Amino acid sequence: MKKNLLFVLILISSLLILVGCEDDVQGPAVDNENNGFESAAIAEVFVNTCAASGCHSGPNPAGGLSTESHYKLLSGSFDRDPAKGNGFGGEVVIPFNSEKSLLYQLLKGNVIPVEPHQNISISEERIIEIKDWIDNGARHYYGNVPSANPSYRVFICNQTSDIISIVDGDNKVVSRIANVDFNPIIDAPHMVKEFGDFYYVTLISANKLLKIRKSDNQIVGETNGIDNAGMIQISPDGTKAFVSRSSTSGGIYNTVFAVSLSDMSVISEISMPVTGVPHALALTPDGKKLYVANLTKDRISIINAETHEFVDDIILDQGTEPMEATISPDGNYLYLSGMGNNKLIVIDTHTEQVVTSVDVNHMPMHIAISSNGTKIYVATMMMSTVDLIEKSGNNWIRTGRISHPGFNMLHGCDLSPDDKYLYVSSRNLNGNYQPKFKINGEGNTGTVGIINTATLQVEKILDLKEFPSGLVVEVVNN
């Protein structure tokens, strides 16, 4: 193959719909710090080819991707697919993981669609050099690794890819991938929670709770024997986790688990009087009371979270099917998503009585609540919308509904620490959403949508892997 570096121009251009590339537009020169790249050789590839063409440099680079500096390349693209509207984009390089980096897969010719160009090629030696640069952290000129210390991160389970996607909350790109693949079959990472220096992931099929170090995404502990591990709640002091069963479990369970997070040992298997699918969990802010929603028996079991003893049941209307549960920041209200009756149900945690319910779109899933408790966001799977319910005094009213072409089968949601952005995962199991680019051999591409909560507009859609499910936004200084 010819050792013509112009191939990189064409391949990176094929990341996007190329418009208005002009050969006579002068791109930037490589400066004495390699335009931020770790080596002059890497800088030559990106700066003196693709950026120099005028396609991926200047104030309006094609598809919103500029390759003229390390910072701009690692910031990814913004309008990868202009035909679908604004916001489709994301990273092209994931530090430490060339195999999951779109740029490397394009270099290998392993992406659909392929946009062939005659008489242009690149040596395998050059491709290996770029691969090694990515796998070594895609480092900056001074040796810094991108996204090493963002102000917050978003951890997202990819349930049929057996990975966790980690989004840099500042740059809003996937910045790391954590591998949670234990078995030849799917391990099915379902939910993730975080506290301090670690995050915790349930694996449905592997029957595990994992403890993963944030600094390097290495698994440092695990709890085995939790059949069909589902949702997670962590105590306010970070010493204990409660783990439920997956919603896909058979209706044969009447227990959830309390796990010590210091050594990942099971403290207690907590029993409840009624068998079914104990799935949704909610823990009061003081850590004293745990609510366990039985999906198939329309009841909420109240557990003393300190003694692990059953206290009482709240009986719901038949056909409610409580899918998920969340406590208001002040601890006064328990919110339930009724998958069977398409309602957001509000329960007073002092009287343990249903106060009201609000109609939402079909099959409500996860719930996120603003820090002042006045805005409740509900992701709905069947209609692929986010419903906004606002609380004013003792009244709850649906005031907004957010949709987007990048939404298909919504699942998880959570708010940024400042409440400015809502992150919502999209399963896309039926493949109705088609990404601009797809890596050969992978299944239907899921997404995470980033919603500006002031405007209720979707600012960005990031392509993830297969079946994005539970997610959590990192709490700063917890």
Taking 60 as the threshold, does the pLDDT of residue 14 lie above it? no
Shared domain for 125 and 184, answered yes or no, is no
The amino acid sitting at 69 is S
Shared domain for 298 and 345, answered yes or no, is yes
Taking 80 as the threshold, does the pLDDT of residue 399 lie above it? yes
Pairwise CA distance, residues 397 & 384, whole Å: 20
- Residue-level pLDDT at 142: 94
Handedness of CA 123, 129, 135, 138 (dihedral sign): negative
Task: Decide: residue 49, CB within 10 A, 0-12 exposed, 13-18 middle, 19+ buried.
Answer: buried
Residue 396: how many CB atoms within 10 A of its CB?
Answer: 20
Please give the average per-residue pLDDT across 53-61, as a whole number.
73
- Residue-level pLDDT at 28: 59
Residues 6 or more apart in contact with residue 151 via CB below 8 angstroms: 169, 170, 417, 476
In sequence order, the β-bridge partners of residue 329 are none
Shared domain for 242 and 95, answered yes or no, is no
| 282 token code pair | 């909610």
Average pLDDT, rounded, for the chain: 90
Residues 6 or more apart in contact with residue 298 via CB below 8 angstroms: 315, 316, 317, 318, 319, 320, 321, 322, 340
Pairwise CA distance, residues 246 & 468, whole Å: 15
Q: Which of 102, 135, 168 is the last residue of a domain?
A: 135
- Read off the pLDDT band of 30 (50, 70, 90): confident
Is there a domain that residue 211 lies in? yes
Please give the average per-residue pLDDT across 353-374, as a whole number.
99
Helices first, then strands: H and E counts in the chain: 5, 31
The answer to whether the CB of 297 falls within 8 A of the CB of 249 is: no
pLDDT tens digit sequence for 314-355: 999 999 999 999 999 999 999 999 999 999 999 999 999 999
Is there a domain that residue 217 lies in? yes
Please give the average per-residue pLDDT across 203-223, as a whole number.
98
In sequence order, the β-bridge partners of residue 449 are 424, 461
Maximal CA-CA distance, the chain: 76
Please give the average per-residue pLDDT across 305-309, as a whole number.
98
Shared domain for 110 and 178, answered yes or no, is no
* Domain ranges, residue 30: 6-135
Is there a domain that residue 36 lies in? yes
Shared domain for 159 and 268, answered yes or no, is yes
DSSP, res 70: H
Instruction: Spell out the alpha helix ranges (H) of 113-198.
Output: 124-135
Q: Which of 135, 168, 191 is the last residue of a domain?
A: 135
Pairwise CA distance, residues 45 & 8, whole Å: 7
Taking 90 as the threshold, does the pLDDT of residue 396 lie above it? yes
Shared domain for 130 and 183, answered yes or no, is no
Taking 60 as the threshold, does the pLDDT of residue 145 lie above it? yes
The amino acid sitting at 306 is E
The answer to whether the CB of 370 falls within 8 A of the CB of 417 is: no
Please give the average per-residue pLDDT across 243-271, as a whole number.
98
Shared domain for 240 and 106, answered yes or no, is no
Task: Write the DSSP string, 72-120.
Answer: HHHH-BS-S-GGG-TTEEB-S--TT-STT-HHHHHHTT-EES----TT-
Pairwise CA distance, residues 401 & 379, whole Å: 10
- Look up tokens 């050059």; give the residue: 126
pLDDT tens digit sequence for 149-197: 999 999 999 999 999 999 999 999 999 999 999 989 899 999 999 999 9
Please give the average per-residue pLDDT across 61-71, as a whole number.
82
Task: Decide: residue 252, CB within 10 A, 0-12 exposed, 13-18 middle, 19+ buried.
Answer: exposed
Residue 114: how many CB atoms within 10 A of its CB?
Answer: 13
- Read off the pLDDT band of 5 (50, 70, 90): very low
Pairwise CA distance, residues 203 & 470, whole Å: 11
The amino acid sitting at 86 is N
pLDDT tens digit sequence for 404-423: 999 999 999 999 999 999 99
Residues 6 or more apart in contact with residue 59 via CB below 8 angstroms: none
Is there a domain that residue 366 lies in? yes
Shared domain for 131 and 188, answered yes or no, is no
Shared domain for 228 and 273, answered yes or no, is yes
Whole-number percent of the chain with pLDDT over 70? 88
Please give the average per-residue pLDDT across 191-219, as a whole number.
98
The answer to whether the CB of 168 falls within 8 A of the CB of 147 is: yes
Taking 50 as the threshold, does the pLDDT of residue 25 lie above it? no
Handedness of CA 53, 57, 60, 66 (dihedral sign): positive
Pairwise CA distance, residues 165 & 445, whole Å: 13
User: How many folded domains does the chain comprise?
Assistant: 2
The answer to whether the CB of 89 falls within 8 A of the CB of 77 is: yes
Is there a domain that residue 204 lies in? yes
Taking 90 as the threshold, does the pLDDT of residue 250 lie above it? yes
Q: Which of 135, 170, 203 is the last residue of a domain?
A: 135
Residues 6 or more apart in contact with residue 31 via CB below 8 angstroms: none
Whole-number percent of the chain with pLDDT over 90? 75
The answer to whether the CB of 308 falls within 8 A of the CB of 336 is: no
Is there a domain that residue 91 lies in? yes
Please give the average per-residue pLDDT across 251-274, as a whole number.
98
CATH of the domain at 445: 2.130.10.10
Please give the average per-residue pLDDT across 5-31, as a whole number.
45
DSSP, res 37: B
Pairwise CA distance, residues 247 & 237, whole Å: 27
Is there a domain that residue 478 lies in? no
Residue 1: how many CB atoms within 10 A of its CB?
Answer: 11
Please give the average per-residue pLDDT across 263-291, as a whole number.
99
Shared domain for 128 and 172, answered yes or no, is no
pTM of the complete model: 0.92
Shared domain for 250 and 331, answered yes or no, is yes
Task: Write the DSSP string, 201-223.
Answer: EEETTTTEEEEEETTT--EEEEE
Is there a domain that residue 141 lies in? no
- Residue-level pLDDT at 84: 65
Q: Dihedral through CA 246, CA 334, CA 409, CA 413, nearest 10?
A: -100
More confident residue, 86 or 401: 401
Pairwise CA distance, residues 158 & 178, whole Å: 10
Which of 460, 463, 473 has the alpha carbon at shortest distance from 100?
Answer: 463
Shared domain for 428 and 469, answered yes or no, is yes
Taking 50 as the threshold, does the pLDDT of residue 3 lie above it? no
